Amino acid sequence: MRMAMMIGVILIVASVLFLGYQGVTYITTRDTVARVGPVEVQTQRDHPIPLGPILSGVALVGGIILVAVGARRGTA
């Protein structure tokens, strides 16, 4: 098996395994819930960034391309 094919297969397997990972929370926002005179009630909300699925998709496409390139070089 050529090196490009091995790296491609590793990327495909890793991307399928990490596809279930939903994301990392990077953004926290504060919202004012109530304001009564000088007293404010605020809440914090965490917004997850879907980093895992995005990177898994990129790795999957890259792995498929590497497997295809490795297969073409092997037959020629």
User: 27: which strand partners?
Assistant: 47
30-44 per-position pLDDT tens digit: 998 899 989 999 999
Compute the half-sphere exposure of residue 53: CA atoms within 13 Å on the CB side of its CA: 6
Return the domain boundaries, the chain: 3-75
pLDDT at residue 76 above 60?
A: no
Rounded mean pLDDT, 48-63: 83
Give Cα 13 to chain centroid, integer Å. Answer: 14
Q: Is the pTM of this model over 0.85?
A: no
Cα distances (Å, whole numbers) of residue 32 to 27, 29, 42, 64: 17, 10, 4, 47
* Token duo for residue 74: 């092997």
User: Which pLDDT does position 75 carry in this prediction?
Assistant: 60
Rounded mean pLDDT, 38-54: 84
User: Which pLDDT does position 71 carry in this prediction?
Assistant: 80
Name the strand (E) or helix (H) holding 3.
Answer: helix 3-18
CB-based contact 1:66 (threshold 8 Å): no
